[in-house]
Amino acid sequence: MTLAPWRSALSHALHRNRSLVYARYLQLATVRPNGQPANRTVVFRGFLDGTNQLQFVTDARSAKVEQIAHHNQAEVCWYFPKTREQFRIAGLLTLISAEHPQAELASVRRSVWAELSEGSRLQFAWPDPGKPRGTPADFAPPPPSAEQPLENFCLLLLDPSSVDHLELRGEPQNRWLYSSDDNNNWVVQAVNP
Amino acid sequence: MTLAPWRSALSHALHRNRSLVYARYLQLATVRPNGQPANRTVVFRGFLDGTNQLQFVTDARSAKVEQIAHHNQAEVCWYFPKTREQFRIAGLLTLISAEHPQAELASVRRSVWAELSEGSRLQFAWPDPGKPRGTPADFAPPPPSAEQPLENFCLLLLDPSSVDHLELRGEPQNRWLYSSDDNNNWVVQAVNP
């Protein structure tokens, strides 16, 4: 596989915004089973090796997992404050849960778990998200093993099919649309911002 | 009308993040006519006087206008970097275009136009967004009048029906769900993050 042509622009943005921890935070829009949009911040966890797929992590108990099972299209919006540019990345989501049949992806799930901070891993041992607030003791579980992911830990992959890159800093602004065909060939076009 | 109970938390976040210009940027998710999600950054333009409705501006030629005509539900995701908190605000969108019949809202549309920077107003005179890139001359139109909005300038209102407020800074994190009933009465519940 070859890197998609938008990868270099995104790498450049990540590099130039690296001093801001929240430059790795982006907003993931999905569609709820009732057809209404949902939107939340997620943390970029790098690309799946040898692919153009973005990695995130999520909890099997979170609402987005049900949404994805129902409708696996998503669009992330990623704004980089320092360089004043935005990437809108649309594509298909794949959830890699504890039961995932492919050994290779199951192994990536374990690696991503091991690379999380202890604090991030601990959140997967907290009581059910969105349910009435638990007691302080509920939030002080024993730290999970770094080797064996908790059952509810999921890796989430976004396989992009279109990317809309907007640079606000241009004079005037610059904007490019990247889209891939069925053979995973990417084309790019400069468009009006 | 009374301020919804989440308004004070949001005001507090805006105040404590006021040194970051991009703390007024948030991500607006809508649903495309084909059922797929769309997500882009918009700028918060304050609340509509005497209401809990958030104001944004948009161009009648942008894709989101067609999306809203088809499906007026939205969810914005608003992350505040300094205080490490997120508001997810879901509700109904109303577009106030040049033809809007209500005199009061038509007047607000003109006021918001007048308050934009000259550079922001100029963008509404640029060539069609998303179309193949125009020439430099296309991006150097005469500056529009500050008094009379261009025809394609729209005010966009979001009337919230639920708000999900997450504070990452808590020990552990704090999260509250606010929801309004049909009589516009708000209830709030502390939930697990």
Closest CA to B59 of B113, B133, B114, B136: B113
- Contact yes or no for B190 and A132 at CB 8 A: yes
Model pLDDT for residues A110-169, shown as the tens digit of each residue: 999 999 999 999 999 999 999 999 999 999 999 999 999 999 999 999 999 999 999 999
B24 min Cα distance to partner chain A (Å): 12
DSSP A58-75: EETTSHHHHHHHH--EEE
On chain A, the residues whose CB falls within 8 A of the CB of B77 are 27, 39-41
Q: Quick one: pLDDT at residue B171?
A: 80
Model pLDDT for residues B87-145, shown as the tens digit of each residue: 999 999 999 999 999 999 999 999 999 999 999 999 999 999 999 999 999 999 999 99
Within a 10 A sphere around the Cβ of A23, how many other Cβ atoms?
A: 21
Tokens of B118: 């000259």
On chain A, the residues whose CB falls within 8 A of the CB of B133 are 175, 189-192
On chain B, the residues whose CB falls within 8 A of the CB of A177 are 130
Q: Give me the percent of chain B exceeding a pLDDT of 70.
A: 100
User: Do residues B21 and A21 touch, judged by C-beta distance below 8 A?
Assistant: no
Residue B143 falls inside a structural domain? no
Q: Quick one: pLDDT at residue A50?
A: 96
Q: What is the mean pLDDT of chain B?
A: 97
A186 min Cα distance to partner chain B (Å): 17
- Contact yes or no for B22 and A192 at CB 8 A: no
Domain that holds residue A66: 6-116+153-191
Residue A79 falls inside a structural domain? yes
Residue B146 falls inside a structural domain? no
- Contact yes or no for B39 and A27 at CB 8 A: yes
Q: What is the CATH number of the domain that holds A92?
A: 2.30.110.10
Angle at B82 between CA A31 and CA A83, to 5 degrees: 75
Q: How far apart are CA A23 and CA B26, in angstroms?
A: 14
B50 min Cα distance to partner chain A (Å): 27
Q: How far apart are CA B77 and CA B52, in angstroms?
A: 16
Element (H, E) at B16: helix B6-16
Q: How many domains does chain B have?
A: 1
Question: Could you report the predicted ipTM of this complex, rounded to two decimals?
Answer: 0.97
Angle at B156 between CA B152 and CA B160, to 5 degrees: 170
Angle at B71 between CA B67 and CA B150, to 5 degrees: 45
Is pLDDT of A1 > 90? no
Q: Quick one: pLDDT at residue B75?
A: 98
- Contact yes or no for A126 and B191 at CB 8 A: no
A50 min Cα distance to partner chain B (Å): 27
Beta A73-80 vs B153-167: how paired, if at all? Answer: unpaired
In chain B, the residue whose alpha carbon lies closest to the alpha carbon of A22 is B81
- Contact yes or no for A131 and B39 at CB 8 A: no
Residue B131 falls inside a structural domain? no
In chain B, the residue whose alpha carbon lies closest to the alpha carbon of A20 is B81
- Contact yes or no for A37 and B75 at CB 8 A: yes
User: Do residues B144 and B121 touch, judged by C-beta distance below 8 A?
Assistant: yes
Residue A148 falls inside a structural domain? no
Q: How far is CA B175 from CA A67, A129, B9, B85, B167, in A?
A: 21, 9, 12, 9, 6
Tokens of B128: 């069609």
Say which of A90, A139, A190 has its CB closest to residue B172. A139
Q: How far apart are CA B100 and CA B60, in angstroms?
A: 13
Please report which confidence band the pLDDT of residue B1 belongs to, taking 50, 70 and 90 as the band edges. Answer: confident
Say which of A27, A73, A139 has its CB closest to residue B77. A27
Closest CA to A138 of A129, A151, A146: A129
- Contact yes or no for B177 and A130 at CB 8 A: yes
- Contact yes or no for B35 and A126 at CB 8 A: no
Task: Specify the residue for token string 């205080």.
Answer: B83
Model pLDDT for residues A61-97, shown as the tens digit of each residue: 999 999 999 999 999 999 999 999 999 999 999 999 9
Residue B161 falls inside a structural domain? yes
User: Do residues B89 and B161 touch, judged by C-beta distance below 8 A?
Assistant: no
For testing contact with chain A, the best of B20, B26, B36, B39 (most A CBs within 10 A): B39
Residue A40 falls inside a structural domain? yes
Is pLDDT of B2 > 90? no
Residue B16 falls inside a structural domain? yes
Query: Is A145 exposed, middle or buried, given 0-12, 13-18 or 19+ CB atoms closer than 10 A?
Result: exposed
Q: Give me the percent of chain B exceeding a pLDDT of 90.
A: 95
On chain A, the residues whose CB falls within 8 A of the CB of B29 are 27, 29, 37-39, 75
In chain A, the residue whose alpha carbon lies closest to the alpha carbon of B172 is A139
**Rg of chain A taking only CA atoms, in angstroms:** 18
The contacts found for B101-108 with CB under 8 angstroms, 24 or more apart, are B105/B155, B108/B48, B108/B49, B108/B55, B108/B155
Q: Quick one: pLDDT at residue B60?
A: 98
Q: Quick one: pLDDT at residue B16?
A: 98
Q: Which residues pair with B93 in a beta bridge?
A: B158
